[in-house]
Chains A and B, each alone.
Chain A
Amino acid sequence: MSDLTKNEIIQLTQRAYKCRENILKMMRFGEAHIGGAFSSLDIMTVLYNKILNHDPKNPKWEDRDRFILSAGHKCMALYATLENQGYFKEEVLWTYNTFNTRVPMHPDEKVLPGIEFPTGSLGHGLPVGQGMAHAGKLDKKCYRVFVMLGDGESAEGSVWEAVMSAGHHKLDNLVAIVDRNGLQVNGRTKDIMNSDPMADKYKAFGWEARTINGHNLEEIYDALSNVPFKPGKPSAIIANTIKAKGLCFAEDKYEFHHWHFKDSEVDDAITKVEESCREELCKLG
């Protein structure tokens, strides 16, 4: 199923955990939406290392694939990934949430290379991504547009307006990735506003959809490297994930959507993430 070699999987795992570690270090400078950042990180790692046509030295390269993080509060994952890719120096991360920072709690395309579009208010990313996809078709460009959404975010009506119209317009250069971690601020998504069956909803609106394990690097790679799943249809990847994945004491707990931590907890969290990384690598042999 996967073209990833064992060495590549090891390397990607190490990168994803290095990013998790950096996210925890960024927390020393400000509050953190740790849950979504960690649930989406494995997908972003595969996306930036193996899928996207992009050039960190030329972030505005006109033929690049576009990535929009619609659930903008997960941006710590994006910052750590972009830094890991060489878009900017590591020191920038250590200004997180400080006055006039380039890495605020919601991403800003005006101040940080690699950010395609500013997000923060939920439900904006897919309509904007659709516009980019349309512009690409109009200009006869080959770039693809990937938009990552949350499952809690998917209660926004604007998401479904865009899902309906992207299907109607047969935008096969548009990919929606739903980081379905099942939790949001007030609790379990299925209790607050059930969005299941997510894949069926996308299919009903003219998309081709696949459901994957959003922490299995091979499954992520296999899905992302096969878009569009069908010519003439936009592609949806419903990625089942675990909130705060990689931080054992926080996993699958809605309280860690936005972690109100004590400074002393950060070092312990870094140790725990390093342990998780070692365990993952042991499993790989």
Chain B
Amino acid sequence: MDKSNLNNEKIEKNDIYDDARKIMAEALVDLGNKNKNIVYISMDSSAGACGGPFQKAFPERHFEFGIAEQNGMGEAAGMAISGKIPVIAAYVPFATYRPFEQIRDDICKTKLNVIIIGNNSGFSVSALGPTHTILEEVGILRALPNMTIICPADGVEYRQVLEVAAKIKSPTYIRVSRIKAKRVFDEDHELILGKADVVKEGSDITLIAVGTMVSKSLEAAYELEKKAVNAEVISMSTIKPLDEEAVIKSAKKTGKVVSVEEHSIYNGLGSAVAEVLVKNCPVKMKFIGTPDEYAPVGTYEELLDYYSLTSQKIADSVLNFYKSF
């Protein structure tokens, strides 16, 4: 493979940025047209999430519950067991933490087809402080049997994720950043549940990234090329069920794995990857993410820098790790 050509091609594509909320809003209307069972459960959260256009297109299928998340999640369960496919969206803490027991008992235990969207994930709204900057929810939701977790990497995947989730016939949590997503994939890329994508091939070290960190890791990998380190980058958009085969295959090839996520290093993507490696292919591993603390207030960029999640700092961390052997 001609790496310089690959790099040039990728850099060109990275010039495109997508607004996840806008893309998902359009996709939801399309899905609503195709599937009459799609309903939207708003907890004063349609406009702030992806429900605004759906509400206009299908007012009879849009249900408002105000700021009452336990009730909204219970309503979604009641709708789903009656044959509907509810999409319920809110800021991450209100889509996941406040109604957690309803998610566990009423939706996951019953294995109902409810699509939960956690909006403004990670550092998206970090100015609002730690009540809204949630960096642990994947770890908590990942522990629930029957739960699928998807965190799209770019606009191409955001366009497909609702349709993928609607077909699963069990609950899905979709983690959505407010920050415009740098394009990673070609337009014809298909988001396949439980399948990882190698977005850059390499032989020296493996970077497994999710969501916002896929494009950052790709940029980091190009930086590493300059240091003669050929990193493989894997986009792991489905955190659960994890594509174990892809993890093992790449780990066997490179012998060194780094996980990268805009989430706590406890119980998130890195932990899921480590669980696979320790059983199947123990290799040296580094976890890049946030530590065991509540994030400070700052802009998105300030938080990325503070937690060493810029592409340059990811490259530096990976290089140090690589050189330590």
- Cβ of A277 within 8 Å of any chain B Cβ, yes or no, is no
- Cβ of A279 within 8 Å of any chain B Cβ, yes or no, is no
- Cβ of A165 within 8 Å of any chain B Cβ, yes or no, is yes
Query: Interface with B: A30-38, A130-138, A196-204, A213-221, which one?
Result: A130-138
Which among A116, A124, A133, A139 is the interface contact of B106 at CB below 8 angstroms?
A124
Besides A117-B78, A131-B80, A134-B75, 19 other A-B contacts (C-beta < 8 A): A117-B77, A123-B70, A124-B74, A124-B106, A126-B74, A128-B74, A130-B71, A130-B78, A131-B77, A131-B82, A134-B79, A135-B84, A138-B84, A158-B70, A158-B102, A161-B71, A164-B71, A165-B66, A165-B71
Q: Which residues of B approach A to under 8 Å, CB–CB?
A: 39, 60-61, 63, 65-66, 68, 70-84, 86, 101-102, 105-106, 109-110
Separation in Å of the A127 CB from the closest CB of chain B? 2
- Cβ of A162 within 8 Å of any chain B Cβ, yes or no, is yes
Q: Give 20 CB contacts A-B under 8 Å.
A: A116-B81, A117-B106, A117-B110, A118-B110, A120-B105, A124-B101, A127-B102, A128-B81, A130-B78, A131-B76, A131-B78, A131-B81, A132-B79, A132-B81, A134-B78, A135-B79, A135-B82, A139-B83, A162-B71, A164-B71
Is the Cβ of A124 less than 8 Å from the Cβ of B105? yes
Q: Give Cα A133–Cα B74 distance, bound, in whole angstroms.
A: 12
Answer whether A127 and B73 are a contact pair too, CB < 8 Å, given A117-B110, A120-B105: yes
Nearest residue in A to B80 (C-beta to C-beta)?
A131
Is the Cβ of B110 less than 8 Å from the Cβ of A109? yes
Secondary structure at chain B's binding surface: helix, strand, loop or mixed? Answer: helix
- Cβ of A285 within 8 Å of any chain B Cβ, yes or no, is no
Is the Cβ of A131 less than 8 Å from the Cβ of B105? no
Q: Give Cα A148–Cα B106 distance, bound, in whole angstroms.
A: 17
Interface residues of A in 226-283 (CB under 8 A from B): none
Is the Cβ of A130 less than 8 Å from the Cβ of B110? no
Which residues of chain B have C-beta atoms less than 8 A from A120's C-beta?
A: 105
Is the Cβ of B79 less than 8 Å from the Cβ of A131? yes
Separation in Å of the A169 CB from the closest CB of chain B? 8
- Cβ of A167 within 8 Å of any chain B Cβ, yes or no, is no
Is the Cβ of B68 less than 8 Å from the Cβ of A164? yes
Q: Give Cα A131–Cα B39 distance, bound, in whole angstroms.
A: 11
Separation in Å of the A248 CB from the closest CB of chain B? 36
Which residues of chain A have C-beta atoms less than 8 A from B74's C-beta?
A: 124, 126-128, 130-131, 158, 162
Q: Give Cα A162–Cα B46 distance, bound, in whole angstroms.
A: 19
Q: Give Cα A79–Cα B112 distance, bound, in whole angstroms.
A: 24
Q: Give Cα A135–Cα B112 distance, bound, in whole angstroms.
A: 15
Is the Cβ of A117 less than 8 Å from the Cβ of B65? no
Which residues of chain A have C-beta atoms less than 8 A from B68's C-beta?
A: 161, 164-165
Which residues of chain A have C-beta atoms less than 8 A from B80's C-beta?
A: 131
Q: Give Cα A126–Cα B66 distance, bound, in whole angstroms.
A: 16
Most chain B Cβ neighbours within 10 Å, of A109, A123, A127: A127
Is the Cβ of B106 less than 8 Å from the Cβ of A128? yes
Answer whether A127 and B78 are a contact pair too, CB < 8 Å, given A120-B105, A161-B71, A165-B66: yes
Which residues of chain A have C-beta atoms less than 8 A from B109's C-beta?
A: 118
Is the Cβ of A128 less than 8 Å from the Cβ of B77? yes
Answer whether A165 and B78 are a contact pair too, CB < 8 Å, given A127-B73, A127-B102: no
Interface residue range, chain A: 20 to 34
Most chain A Cβ neighbours within 10 Å, of B66, B82, B83: B82
Q: Give Cα A123–Cα B68 distance, bound, in whole angstroms.
A: 13
Is the Cβ of A127 less than 8 Å from the Cβ of B71? yes
Q: Give Cα A31–Cα B38 distance, bound, in whole angstroms.
A: 42
Which residues of chain B have C-beta atoms less than 8 A from A133's C-beta?
A: 78
Nearest residue in A to B111 (C-beta to C-beta)?
A110
Interface string of A149-178 (1 = CB under 8 A from B): 000000001100110110011000000000
Answer whether A135 and B78 are a contact pair too, CB < 8 Å, given A127-B70, A162-B71: yes
Q: Give Cα A117–Cα B80 distance, bound, in whole angstroms.
A: 11
Q: Give Cα A240–Cα B132 distance, bound, in whole angstroms.
A: 44
Separation in Å of the A9 CB from the closest CB of chain B? 34
Separation in Å of the A110 CB from the closest CB of chain B? 8
Q: Give Cα A114–Cα B320 distance, bound, in whole angstroms.
A: 61
Which residues of chain A have C-beta atoms less than 8 A from B65's C-beta?
A: 161, 165
Nearest residue in A to B77 (C-beta to C-beta)?
A128
Which residues of chain B have C-beta atoms less than 8 A from A130's C-beta?
A: 71, 74-75, 78
Q: Give Cα A207–Cα B105 distance, bound, in whole angstroms.
A: 27
Separation in Å of the B60 CB from the closest CB of chain A? 7
- Cβ of A121 within 8 Å of any chain B Cβ, yes or no, is yes
Separation in Å of the A155 CB from the closest CB of chain B? 14
Is the Cβ of A127 less than 8 Å from the Cβ of B60? no
Is the Cβ of B70 less than 8 Å from the Cβ of A131? no
Q: Give Cα A7–Cα B86 distance, bound, in whole angstroms.
A: 47
Separation in Å of the B171 CB from the closest CB of chain A? 14
Which residues of chain A have C-beta atoms less than 8 A from B83's C-beta?
A: 135, 139
Those 9 A-B pairs whose CB atoms lie nearest each other, nearest first: A131-B78, A127-B74, A135-B82, A161-B71, A161-B68, A158-B70, A131-B75, A128-B78, A131-B79
Is the Cβ of A118 less than 8 Å from the Cβ of B79? no
Separation in Å of the B197 CB from the closest CB of chain A? 35
Is the Cβ of A121 less than 8 Å from the Cβ of B101? yes
Which residues of chain B have C-beta atoms less than 8 A from A117's C-beta?
A: 77-78, 81, 106, 110
Q: Give Cα A241–Cα B315 distance, bound, in whole angstroms.
A: 69
- Cβ of A129 within 8 Å of any chain B Cβ, yes or no, is yes
